[in-house]
A = this chain, B = another copy of it.
């Protein structure tokens, strides 16, 4: 039976006297949505409920509640898994998803990234050092202007140049024109241009096909904006492309960052996961960043490791520190700090490329 059971841990804020009732309510809420008294005559439904496996107070008034639930509740469906993990509990302000362990059978239908760390290394031709990425921005520029930036980054030796997540199919910068112009701008270089897909699912699927046919070798997606199940759909396509996942709209889901970005994004198919490194414009702590990166890269019998992509206002003076923090299997994403160079964009980018190479050759990462 162990292979058909999932372990789901929540942090629940409750008084000690209430926590057992709260845990039981959580158990019922996530699957059958009925009081236990109404399940009397339905053993099949009662089995669906699972059981409370552990309750432990981790700090004053905060309990870690671990539920043991049948994997069958998920219907082998990535959207239904979200229902079971979050579902109605997301309406309750006192519950946060802390962790989830799935049995190996789940990875029959959650295959994870198509490329992962080894695949993206093969794609970019980079071994023995972290990868370096930047973003095309700002929104408002036309396709030709963004392609010119892309050309500068490519000639300076950046590994991955991705669209900003806010670059959509704007009339002043149409998706197709941008993709074609930016791919042309990387010709003759090693640089991989990564277009941002965004829209309704049918539009995203069309964008992916266009990008692939135009020669793109990876794409970016904001899974929480377009829907995590769409990430799974794209990752499962036989003729899809590796996906960089962007955290737009994901930050305040009722889940700890480690499980959301480190497990769910990876399991749903992200080859690399962008997240805000501590000390930038956002609020992740050092330990969260470390745990997140380790979780993304943790060995797994069925799922490839994904690249952590620290980002979010990284200052150039912190580059060596951040490279050392994440080690070789990371992608450093630096955007605004390069753009601030203005006319010196090429020179500043070139210097950053050299610093990454140097940090790696000095075995500081």
What residues make up the interface of A, taking CB atoms closer than 8 Å to B?
25, 29-35, 37-42, 44-48, 72-80, 82-84, 86-88, 90-93, 135, 137-142, 145, 164-166, 168-172, 198-205, 222, 224-230, 232-233, 236, 247-254, 276, 281-283, 312, 335-336, 339-340, 342
Contacts and interface: CB of A to CB of B under 8 A. Distances in A.
A252 B140 contact: no
B32 A199 contact: no
23 contacts: A31-B166, A33-B139, A33-B164, A34-B137, A34-B339, A38-B138, A38-B339, A45-B138, A47-B140, A74-B168, A75-B169, A79-B222, A79-B226, A82-B225, A83-B249, A86-B225, A86-B249, A88-B251, A88-B312, A200-B229, A201-B233, A227-B227, A252-B252
Given A226-B79, A232-B200, A282 B42 contact: no
Contact of A83 (B145, B169, B198, B202): B198
B90 A252 contact: yes
B252 A199 contact: no
A248 B339 CA distance: 40
Contact of A229 (B78, B80, B201): B201
Contacts of A230: 200-201, 227, 230
Contact of A198 (B47, B80, B200): B80
A138 B282 contact: no
A254 B233 CA distance: 26
Q: 8 tightest A-B contacts by CB?
A: A227-B227, A45-B140, A91-B251, A201-B201, A32-B138, A75-B168, A48-B140, A80-B168
Contact of A139 (B48, B142, B281): B48
A39 B138 contact: yes
Contacts of A73: 139, 166
Nearest to A197: B79
A76 B170 CA distance: 8
Contacts of A282: 88, 91-92
A17 B121 CA distance: 47
A172 B340 contact: no
Contacts of A135: 33
Nearest to A142: B44
B79 A200 contact: yes
Contact of A72 (B79, B142, B172, B283): B172
A87 B283 CA distance: 15
Centre residue among A31, A37, A171, A251 by max chain B CB count within 10 A: A251
Nearest to A40: B342
A307 to B, nearest CB: 19
Given A90-B251, A225-B83, A281-B29, A138 B75 contact: no
Contacts of A198: 77, 79-80, 83
A139 B76 CA distance: 14
Given A42-B140, A83-B198, 11 more contacts: A25-B281, A33-B166, A33-B336, A44-B141, A79-B226, A83-B168, A86-B249, A93-B252, A200-B232, A200-B233, A201-B233
Contacts of A142: 44
A77 B169 CA distance: 8
B283 A252 contact: no
Centre residue among A39, A82, A340 by max chain B CB count within 10 A: A82
A205 B204 CA distance: 14
Nearest to A335: B33
